[in-house]
Amino acid sequence: MLELLVIFPLIVAAVSVPVSNYQVRSWLLPFGSGVHLLLSILLCRGYFPEINRWIGLDALSRLVLIVTSLLFFSCALYAVAYLNLRRDRGNRVMVPCLLVFLSAMTLATVARHLGLMWMAVEATTISSAPLIYYNRNRLSLEATWKYLLICSVGIALAMLGMLFVAYAALGGGAPVSLQFDLLLGGATTLSKPWLHAGFVFLLIGFGTKMGLAPLHTWKPDAYGEAPGLVGALLAGGLTSVAFLAILRGVQLMTAAGDGDMARQALLGMGLLSLLLASVFMVRQQDIKRMLAYSSVEHMGLLAIGVGIGGMATFGAMLHLINNALTKGGLFLAAGNIQRAFASKRLSEVRGALKALPVSGPLFLAGFLAITGSPPFGPFLSEFTILRGTFISGHMLLGMLILIFLSIVFIGMGATVLAATQGEPEQKDSGFKDHFLLYFSPLVLLLLILLIGVYIPASLQNALQQAADLLEVRP
């Protein structure tokens, strides 16, 4: 079943290439991702295949798998109407690349071998680069090359980290292997200096893909120039997969008895991410770049939650879901606004609430959700992270988080309110709200609202199991 989960999107991608009908090729996206989501739900609801040397599911991978599959299916539904508007650009490249991207994210999520996980994460870089270049202009070309160069350097550093981890096993007398469960089983025998060096390089390498500061420099350009649905997948899907890769390193360090070092590193990078995001979000004139810095902020919150441990780790697992779904809704709504105004610059976007009666309010609601306003889900997860921070005695850190979140709320609010309020300028863009263009962001935000009001027992158990997996000590 897990092999089928990885292979099926590749089969649909191969089928889409010779298809001549434009609409049929577009509809292959929701078909392929819909089957993928169904299989993911079946696997996570009870049919758990045994973990082998290469692939398997645990509490962490189940959480990331469901989130990324649900987000991708939502974006696939949106893509049908979006690609119909962009017939000038075509979908012959977009459709297969999106499906390969889904397959690569799935493989990285279920991989139980560090080398296989590394290969899958690198495949996400290659398959998503043409998606960022979809608009085929000077700015999108620059963003694509920056994304490729910076992320490829990061992935190369992650490979170096894996080599150090393998050498740590050799130095400790354990069998040399990158099979994750073997490494966990023999973690206490690993050579500490080499293991520490390996974790640092893994954190830097996969932290680049995740977008933790100061490794985030590709994000504003890539998110700013990519189509809205691609930005949603990068901000909600790819970052979750990269975070999972970092959590594998945290698991290994904790099993070896060096979890405190790993958590301190995450705290430092998480706090720096909040600081830089709050600075660059003030007076931000580009809507999509604003969302990119918001992504940096929330990657920082995830890192801080795991770095604190205990209750904050549970909050981080919940925030992973909230961030992915909320960012998905925000980017899709922002894409509609960009199409309606033929711009994403604040100087040209005014009165989105009146110009787009559905997408405009959704964008405003998404802003309230992502900044932690009740009753949306991010409020609950951020409150849990803050509560865990104060309970653990990190008073100064908790105060700094509150200050940075307040700055983010003010800076982001100034941009969003300016774009949504007022009278829209008369522009004949020909774009109107369409059901398939606002259905996905509407559903995603309703899910976030539901999580903020009520967490089902099954979801709560899944979150607790994922958090407990990061707290296991030798």
**pLDDT tens digits along 110-140:** 999 999 999 999 999 999 999 999 999 999 9
Give the amino acid at 95: V
Helices (H), 172-286: 180-185, 192-210, 219-225, 228-233, 239-255, 259-281
Stretch (H or E) spanning 63 = helix 59-85
Tell me the pLDDT tens digit for each residue of 294-345.
999 999 999 999 999 999 999 999 999 999 999 999 999 999 999 988 888 8
Q: How many helices (H) and strands (E) does the chain have?
A: 20, 0
Q: What does the pLDDT read at residue 101?
A: 97
- In eight-state DSSP terms, residue 424 is P
Q: What does the pLDDT read at residue 427?
A: 63
Q: What does the pLDDT read at residue 96?
A: 96
d(CA 123, CA 100): 8
Contact 449, 376 (CB under 8 A): yes
Give the amino acid at 448: I
Query: Within 10 A of 254 (CB to CB), how many other CB atoms are there?
Result: 23
Tell me the pLDDT tens digit for each residue of 393-450.
999 999 999 999 999 999 999 999 999 998 887 666 678 888 889 999 999 999 999 9
Residue 49 has pLDDT above 60, yes or no: no
Retrieve residue 309's tokens: 């441990």
Q: What does the pLDDT read at residue 173?
A: 63
Give the amino acid at 109: T
If you write DSSP's letter for every residue of 88-133 in order, what string do you get?
A: TT-STTHHHHHHHHHHHHHHHHHB-BHHHHHHHHHHHHHHHHHHHT
d(CA 455, CA 322): 12
CB environment 155-179: b (16+ within 10 A), e (fewer): bebbbbbbebbbbbbebbebeebbb
Residue 396 buriedness (CB in 10 A; 0-12 / 13-18 / 19+): exposed
Retrieve residue 407's tokens: 């700055």
**In total, how many domains does the chain have?**
1
- In eight-state DSSP terms, residue 235 is I
Residue 47 has pLDDT above 70, yes or no: no
User: Does residue 214 have a cis bond before it (omega within 30 degrees)?
Assistant: yes
Q: How confident is the model at residue 172 (pLDDT cuts 50, 70, 90)?
A: low
Of the chain, the percentage scoring pLDDT greater than 70 comes to 96
Read off the pTM: 0.95
CA distances from 85 to 139, 160, 397 (A): 21, 44, 47
Q: How confident is the model at residue 272 (pLDDT cuts 50, 70, 90)?
A: very high
Tell me the pLDDT tens digit for each residue of 180-234.
988 888 888 888 999 999 999 999 999 999 999 999 999 999 999 999 999 999 9
Contact 266, 200 (CB under 8 A): no
Residue 86 buriedness (CB in 10 A; 0-12 / 13-18 / 19+): middle
| Domain carrying residue 313 | 2-470
Q: What does the pLDDT read at residue 428?
A: 61
Contact 462, 53 (CB under 8 A): no
Sign of CA dihedral 390, 394, 395, 401: negative
